[in-house]
Chains A and B, each alone.
Chain A
Amino acid sequence: MAEHVTGQVNTDHYVRFVDVQKSYDGETLVVKNLNLEIERGEFLTMLGPSGSGKTTCLMMLAGFEPATHGEIFLDENPINNVAPHKRDIGMVFQNYALFPHMTVAENLLFPLQVRGMNKSEQARRVKNALDMVELGAFGGRRPAQLSGGQQQRVAVARALVFDPKLVLMDEPLGALDKQLREQMQYEIKHIHEKLGVTVVYVTHDQSEALTMSNRIAVFNDGVVQQLAAPDALYEAPENAFVAQFIGENNTLSGKVSSVNGSTCTVDIEGGSTTALAVNIDGIGSATSMSLRPERVTVNPPNGQCPNLFDARVQELIYLGDHMRTRMSVCGNDEFIVKIPNAAGHVHLVPGANVKVGWQTEDCRALDSPS
């Protein structure tokens, strides 16, 4: 909190949102009580559906929107009342916001000139920054003469050229096509690793978030649903929204009938299953369980799966490395099973009746939305 003295707190908490709230119209909260700590040198992604308040958080951090309540710290200094140009935060915008009347080199010079840096240092930095994004030969061009990917790189270079304390990126790859987007994801990640700069990245694309981030804050409706590393987020979602939002997911709804330490038994249509008790309100409460498609086994050998159910194959989609199979299981017609295209895998036809089974720890009993 504000009264903390610099020496007493963990200085690795480089950026801190403390009880931050934001409302544009005085009626609804767009950001509801945000508490978020970002480590020095971390690549943190804010991931969430459109309208969940990610950009708003970024704008508050950059200083373009005031926080309605709460305090934001950068390197342990409260920055609520610091003007944007004094925050020393680099920013990459979705439309790049390169200045069209300046050449690429002039764009990069701009932050150095307004800082009054000496000429030789300016030239050195511009050259380094352009080399870093492999655009050394393009300094004399206008932004309009560059391709989308090149403009993107210039925008990244410009946000980094003045050694900012922090770099913010708001859906910077949104305008690129898929192939270029994936290539740029790696490039940005490598630049981050090389420079060790702290990055706060915003996207609504979960695979982008999983690829690039050290940690991901999943936003929904102005609230951080879960803050975790990519693998934890995928494998151990803590609520139904995260389970549904990250990766492909099967949802089974039911009622908790008994709790046994870290596991529980849940009654569902057509029987009952054991599951990890992750986020339930106790016996009798409604729960929605999350089960990843690749963790479901078709026709498992006897005794291998504690949970075994009848299933009816609805649709088969051949995807090369695996077969995506839609089945009806326990009243859920959208139950997806991924069958790897390995030697000796089962051959299914639509309409076939099969058994599907899963392990207790692969089935996570979570809160029941609505």
Chain B
Amino acid sequence: MAQAEMTGDMMRTADGVPLKLALERALFRSRLRAVMLVAPLFFFLLITFVLPIFDMLFRSVENNIVADILPRTVVAIEAWDETSGELPGEAVFEAIVKDMADGKRDKTLGRVARRLNFEKSGMASLFRKSGRKAPKITEAPYREQLLKIDKRWSDIDLWKLIKREKGAFTKSHFLAAADMQYTPDGSIEMRPENRQIYTNLFGRTLWLSGLITVLCLLLAYPVAYLLATLPLRTSNLLMVLVLLPFWTSLLVRTTSWIALLQTQGVINDLLVGIGLIDDDSRLQMIHNQFGTVVAMTHILLPFMILPLYSVMKTIPPSYMRAARSLGATPFTAFVKIYMPNTVAGVGAGSILVFILAIGYYITPALVGGRTGSLISNFIASFISGSTQNWGLAAALGVMLLAIVLVLYFLYDKIVGINNMKLG
């Protein structure tokens, strides 16, 4: 072994290599090994987690459709003064006619129609109708001919809209996600009450997730306590029962709740059978909030039990005994001594269940119905199908992410993330 000795200021090994350097060299191989071991997971997460998140952030503000499909128009409209109160000039109309003709030929016109329809209803039909006829307009006066095809082209708001959305980025998805909109003259206002969807939806998602978290906590606490205090053989059996749901498909568990709760389901049949309710007044327990809360509480329960259990397991039984010997009743001992020592588990379990609940999709989709569906169900509905709107889906997703991060931050401030104990 090389012995360290002092030469001048720097510590050196016996053969004169600076100690720091020798240490670096010695550690290099083990560092390299560590890097190699995490590399596969790192790249996997990069591709399947980090990149999609950035993609989502980007899509929530991205706005290239108008500029891509109506390239001549966005250039020509630059010169138009939207505050003048007059329609754009002939050049802009020429540009849009040619853009529509190209769009028709390339079959891209539908995209811009859908994009603008999202801002202002009627735009889709206008573009579809005009796009069909635009290729026939080949010479001036473009404006006159286009107005003849559809006089909605004389609506100044329409041109303001095109000018507003010509840029590479847009706020409109976030405005929509926050139930706000542009007024025709370009300022921002809340949507009319009856068209506000998403704030209510976020509110409902937060409220139901909170309710589910509280229910999970109330149900899980006694079970975790038993798990942590029963003799090993009994508690092992109980643990198997707790883990059993993990071995069953999520879909199976959710659909079995349908079988139980539906109006012709097991519970209603039972209640009717014992005469507690009439056959024609069967309870509506599914496809509403009740269904979502019951099924999700059941499905998320293990995520509350396990962190609670792992914390309770570390509390020595002597704490309770000490409290009793010091004169505390069993109740006082439990509340003053046992419960404060489980805070880390309560925090970990609650934040886990809450964050899982806030983004839960499959269960509310199956049992939630109209009143029991959550924000993720709406996000999913915008990803495909006739209402496809990636921008809005992304904006809603970003807001969901922001809520989770804020909660996480608050949790860290209040409980301290290092105190969190999972499984």
Judging by beta carbons under 8 Å apart, are B341 and A115 in contact? no
Check A84 for interface membership: any CB of B closer than 8 A.
yes
Give chain A residues whose Cβ lies under 8 Å from the Cβ of B336.
110
Choose one: A86, A88, A91; the contact of B321 (CB below 8 Å): A91
Check A85 for interface membership: any CB of B closer than 8 A.
yes
Interface string of A95-127 (1 = CB under 8 A from B): 101111100000000110011000000000000
Choose one: B321, B337, B341; the contact of A64 (CB below 8 Å): B321
Give chain A residues whose Cβ lies under 8 Å from the Cβ of B325.
62, 84-85, 87, 89-91, 159, 168
Residue picked from A84, A88, A89, A98, most chain B C-beta under 10 Å: A84
Choose one: A64, A94, A95, A114; the contact of B327 (CB below 8 Å): A114
Choose one: A94, A95, A100, A114; the contact of B326 (CB below 8 Å): A114
Judging by beta carbons under 8 Å apart, are A97 and B328 in contact? no
Interface string of B307-322 (1 = CB under 8 A from A): 0000000001011011
Q: CA–CA, A111 to B333, complex, Å?
A: 11
Shortest distance between the CB of B326 and any CB in chain A (Å): 4
Q: CA–CA, A98 to B341, complex, Å?
A: 12
Shortest distance between the CB of B269 and any CB in chain A (Å): 46
Judging by beta carbons under 8 Å apart, are A110 and B328 in contact? yes
Number of A interface residues, CB 8 Å?
A: 28
Check B199 for interface membership: any CB of A closer than 8 A.
no
Choose one: A89, A93, A101, A111; the contact of B341 (CB below 8 Å): A101
Which residue of chain B lies nearest to A167 when distances are taken between CB atoms in the complex? B325
Judging by beta carbons under 8 Å apart, are A85 and B321 in contact? no
Judging by beta carbons under 8 Å apart, are B322 and A93 in contact? yes
Give chain A residues whose Cβ lies under 8 Å from the Cβ of B341.
99-101
Check A158 for interface membership: any CB of B closer than 8 A.
yes
Check B340 for interface membership: any CB of A closer than 8 A.
yes
Give chain B residues whose Cβ lies under 8 Å from the Cβ of A115.
327
Judging by beta carbons under 8 Å apart, are A85 and B329 in contact? yes
Judging by beta carbons under 8 Å apart, are A111 and B321 in contact? no
Give chain A residues whose Cβ lies under 8 Å from the Cβ of B319.
97, 99
Check B323 for interface membership: any CB of A closer than 8 A.
yes
Judging by beta carbons under 8 Å apart, are B328 and A85 in contact? yes
A window 102-160: CB within 8 A of B: 110-111, 114-115, 158-159
Shortest distance between the CB of A143 and any CB in chain B (Å): 11
Check A162 for interface membership: any CB of B closer than 8 A.
yes
Judging by beta carbons under 8 Å apart, are B328 and A91 in contact? no
Interface string of A54-95 (1 = CB under 8 A from B): 000000001110000000000000000001111111110111
A window 309-361: CB within 8 A of B: none
Residue picked from B322, B329, B332, B341, most chain A C-beta under 10 Å: B322
Choose one: B318, B321, B323, B329; the contact of A110 (CB below 8 Å): B323
Instruction: Given A85-B329, A93-B318, decide whether A99 and B324 contact each other with a Cβ distance below 8 A.
Output: no
Main SS class of interface, B: helix
Choose one: A87, A88, A91; the contact of B322 (CB below 8 Å): A91
Shortest distance between the CB of B394 and any CB in chain A (Å): 44
Residue picked from B323, B327, B329, B332, most chain A C-beta under 10 Å: B327
Residue picked from A89, A97, A98, A158, most chain B C-beta under 10 Å: A97
Instruction: Given A85-B327, A100-B341, A162-B327, decide whether A114 and B321 contact each other with a Cβ distance below 8 A.
Output: no
Judging by beta carbons under 8 Å apart, are A85 and B316 in contact? no
Judging by beta carbons under 8 Å apart, are B328 and A114 in contact? yes
Residue picked from A64, A83, A110, A115, most chain B C-beta under 10 Å: A110
Which residue of chain B lies nearest to A88 when distances are taken between CB atoms in the complex? B327
Interface string of B324-361 (1 = CB under 8 A from A): 11111110110011001101000000000000000000
Give chain A residues whose Cβ lies under 8 Å from the Cβ of B330.
85
Give chain A residues whose Cβ lies under 8 Å from the Cβ of B316.
95, 97
Judging by beta carbons under 8 Å apart, are B324 and A85 in contact? yes
Which residue of chain A lies nearest to B333 when distances are taken between CB atoms in the complex? A85
Which residue of chain B lies nearest to A91 when distances are taken between CB atoms in the complex? B325
Judging by beta carbons under 8 Å apart, are B326 and A158 in contact? yes
Shortest distance between the CB of B234 and any CB in chain A (Å): 15
Q: CA–CA, A88 to B58, complex, Å?
A: 68
Q: CA–CA, A83 to B337, complex, Å?
A: 18
Q: CA–CA, A101 to B341, complex, Å?
A: 7
Instruction: Given A100-B341, A101-B340, A101-B341, decide whether A111 and B318 contact each other with a Cβ distance below 8 A.
Output: no
Which residue of chain A lies nearest to B340 when distances are taken between CB atoms in the complex? A101
Give chain B residues whose Cβ lies under 8 Å from the Cβ of A168.
325
Shortest distance between the CB of B209 and any CB in chain A (Å): 28
Q: CA–CA, A158 to B202, complex, Å?
A: 51
Give chain B residues whose Cβ lies under 8 Å from the Cβ of A97.
316, 318-319, 321-322
Give chain B residues whose Cβ lies under 8 Å from the Cβ of A62.
321, 325
Shortest distance between the CB of B177 and any CB in chain A (Å): 42
Give chain B residues whose Cβ lies under 8 Å from the Cβ of A110.
323, 326, 328, 336
Give chain B residues whose Cβ lies under 8 Å from the Cβ of A111.
326-328
Q: CA–CA, A111 to B332, complex, Å?
A: 11
Give chain A residues whose Cβ lies under 8 Å from the Cβ of B322.
91, 93, 97-99
Q: CA–CA, A158 to B322, complex, Å?
A: 10
Interface string of B268-308 (1 = CB under 8 A from A): 00000000000000000000000000000000000000000
Beyond the given pairs A85-B326, A110-B328, 10 more chain A to chain B contacts, judged by CB atoms under 8 angstroms and listed by A's residue number, are A64-B321, A84-B325, A85-B333, A91-B322, A91-B325, A97-B321, A99-B341, A101-B340, A114-B329, A159-B325
Which A-B residue pairs are the 10 nearest by beta carbons?
A: A111-B326, A97-B322, A97-B318, A91-B325, A84-B324, A101-B340, A93-B318, A114-B327, A114-B328, A85-B324
Q: Which residues of B contact A (CB under 8 A)?
A: 316, 318-319, 321-330, 332-333, 336-337, 340-341, 343
A-B contacts, 26 of them at CB < 8 A, read: A62-B321, A62-B325, A64-B321, A64-B324, A83-B324, A85-B324, A85-B326, A85-B328, A85-B329, A89-B325, A90-B325, A90-B326, A91-B321, A91-B325, A93-B322, A98-B322, A100-B341, A101-B343, A110-B323, A111-B326, A111-B327, A114-B326, A114-B327, A114-B328, A162-B326, A162-B327
Q: Which residues of A contact B (CB under 8 A)?
A: 62-64, 83-91, 93-95, 97-101, 110-111, 114-115, 158-159, 162, 168
